[in-house]
């Protein structure tokens, strides 16, 4: 039973923590080509601080933890942190989000440590389009990670941001991965988190359009049940092993059941992906406050949570100013 609830009665039991804002890709939808101004290392939470924070969170009834970034494997000794976190008694499920470039060599150990699942960013199966979208020629490494995850039977979600004019021809080939592999391929609406502002006046590839595109190709596409608190609506092609998800990340149709607590790379708490950040947890961890006092501040922050992503966006200090890069937030 979760202890932590927000002011709208939503239980909070899932912490997403960005361990770095650095990334070895420059995805078009995430950051400008020249990159973003990275945080100095001392501004990142240390492994000790992360371990303390995760321990506090588990004592507040948060058993599910995801490490994200930036690219988590760009942070040196990430595996050391993972080894520590799996030892925390209250951590039931530890998940990772990665672009797969540096991940493959660690997969056997991740399996041994009992990693619950890996989300792999995979916007295309075409090397040329991969280079155009990510501005790096790294497709082979990402694909090697996908293969190794499947071989090691680690649950995988392959995430593709759907971008008009960039990877529409990849929707069906990506969905085809579910024919013989037991994985979840998820198509995500593009959000304006690129540090630059929206790429188009209006989102073209909405969740409805993505679904219509899939249905036109797969008349047997069936809605299947969604896991609790899932942000994706799940479907399956008759006879295929895996499933297909669609995430209405920009349309924000799932806020009513949002169970997520986000901590950015600079140690700031976000009660919604679309807010400005509401509490400087790093500052609290570096003060002489006790664990109980820090937990009380976190609880208090969730008593002022916006009801949905639209309200959170409207409450931003400058709602017209571009959102930060997703690389500091973690997705």
Summarize as ranges the residues that interact with ligand SAM (CB under 6 A). 23, 29-30, 68-69, 71, 97-99, 121, 159, 161, 188, 190-191, 193-194, 249, 326-327, 330-331
- The nearer residue to ligand SAM, 30 or 44, going by C-beta atoms, is 30
Q: Decide if 299 contacts 4 (C-beta within 8 A).
A: yes
In the bound complex, what is the minimum distance in angstroms from residue 30's beta carbon to ligand SAM? 4
In the bound complex, what is the minimum distance in angstroms from residue 191's beta carbon to ligand SAM? 4
In the bound complex, what is the minimum distance in angstroms from residue 31's beta carbon to ligand SAM? 8
CA distance 224 to 230: 12
Backbone angles phi, psi at 252, to 5 degrees: 55, 60
Measured at the CA of 21, the angle between CA 147 and CA 201, to 5 degrees, comes to 90
The contacts of residue 294 (CB under 8 Å, 6+ apart) are 56, 281, 284, 285
- The nearer residue to ligand SAM, 277 or 331, going by C-beta atoms, is 331
Provide the 3-class DSSP secondary structure of residue 303.
helix
Residue of 128, 137, 221, 201 lying closest to 167 (CA atoms): 128
- The nearer residue to ligand SAM, 13 or 159, going by C-beta atoms, is 159
- The nearer residue to ligand SAM, 95 or 295, going by C-beta atoms, is 95
- The nearer residue to ligand SAM, 68 or 259, going by C-beta atoms, is 68
In the bound complex, what is the minimum distance in angstroms from residue 68's beta carbon to ligand SAM? 5
CA distance 177 to 187: 13
- The nearer residue to ligand SAM, 188 or 278, going by C-beta atoms, is 188
Residue nearest to ligand SAM (CB): 331
In the bound complex, what is the minimum distance in angstroms from residue 325's beta carbon to ligand SAM? 8
In the bound complex, what is the minimum distance in angstroms from residue 220's beta carbon to ligand SAM? 27
9, 148, 255, 278, 304 from 308: Cα distances, Å: 13, 37, 5, 15, 12
91, 93, 272, 274, 320 from 192: Cα distances, Å: 32, 30, 15, 10, 11
CA distance 96 to 69: 10
- The nearer residue to ligand SAM, 193 or 274, going by C-beta atoms, is 193
120, 238, 329 from 158: Cα distances, Å: 5, 20, 19
In the bound complex, what is the minimum distance in angstroms from residue 104's beta carbon to ligand SAM? 14
């Amino acid at each position: 039973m979760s202890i932590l609830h927000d002011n709208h009665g939503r239980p909070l039991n899932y912490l997403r923590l960005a361990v770095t804002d650095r990334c070895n890709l420059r995805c078009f939808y995430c950051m400008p080509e020249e990159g973003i101004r990275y945080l100095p290392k001392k501004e990142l939470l240390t492994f000790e601080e992360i371990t303390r924070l995760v321990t506090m969170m588990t004592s507040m009834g948060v058993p599910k933890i995801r490490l994200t970034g930036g690219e988590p494997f760009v942070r040196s000794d990430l595996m050391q942190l993972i080894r520590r976190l799996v030892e925390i008694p209250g951590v039931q499920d530890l998940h990772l989000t990665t672009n797969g470039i540096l991940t493959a060599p660690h997969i056997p150990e991740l399996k041994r440590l009992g990693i619950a699942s890996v989300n792999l960013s995979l916007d295309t199966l075409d090397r040329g389009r991969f280079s155009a979208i990510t501005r790096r020629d790294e497709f082979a490494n990402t694909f090697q990670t996908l293969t190794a995850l499947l071989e090691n039977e680690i649950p995988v979600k392959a995430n593709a941001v759907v971008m008009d004019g960039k990877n529409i021809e990849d929707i069906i080939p990506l969905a085809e991965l579910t024919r013989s592999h037991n994985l979840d391929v998820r198509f995500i609406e593009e959000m304006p988190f690129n540090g630059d502002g929206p790429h188009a006046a209006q989102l073209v590839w909405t969740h409805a359009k993505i679904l219509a595109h899939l249905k036109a190709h797969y008349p047997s596409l069936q809605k299947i049940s969604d896991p609790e608190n899932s942000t994706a609506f799940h479907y399956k092609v008759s006879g295929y092993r895996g499933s297909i998800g669609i995430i209405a990340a920009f349309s924000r149709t799932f806020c009513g059941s949002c169970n997520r607590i986000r901590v950015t790379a600079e140690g700031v708490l976000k009660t919604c992906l679309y807010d400005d950040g509401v509490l400087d947890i790093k500052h609290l961890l570096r003060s002489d406050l006790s664990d109980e006092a820090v937990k009380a501040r976190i609880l208090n922050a969730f008593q002022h949570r916006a009801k949905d992503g639209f309200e959170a966006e409207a409450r931003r200090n400058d709602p017209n100013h571009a959102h930060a890069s997703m690389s500091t937030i973690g997705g």
